[in-house]
Amino acid sequence: MSEQMLEQVREAVEGQIDFEGQRLAEMLTTVLLGAAGIIAFLVGFAQQDIKLALYIGLAGTALTFLVVVPPWPFYNKNPEDWLPARNASAGSYSIDVDGQKVG
């Protein structure tokens, strides 16, 4: 029972993210931090309060951290199919590249 729970925690922390998920995470980081910076500047300027602007910027950074850092499932919607590990006892496989066998 405890091994099952430990395995679930290990899978959650491992953080599988595919290439499209990496692109999405980078785009979300750029958009969220940019929007937080603009909103913080505009509110701080309108209220003439640098402390408020810093708190809004910090909140935007924390929100961005929560959206981007954990390995959410929507970051792994397009996983890559990797070739199987080559094992001498399992037999050989061949890869065709432009009609020629490789490997």
Treating both helix axes as pointing N-terminal to C-terminal, what angle do 50-68 and 19-47 enclose, rounded to 10 degrees?
170
CA distance 38 to 70: 25
- The amino acid at 21: G
pTM recorded for the entire structure: 0.69
pLDDT (tens, 9 = 90+) of the chain, 103 residues, equals: 788 888 877 777 777 889 999 999 999 999 999 999 999 999 999 999 999 999 999 999 999 999 999 888 899 898 888 877 766 555 566 677 887 777 6
DSSP 59-92: HHHHHHHHHHSS--GGG-SS---PPPPP-GGG--
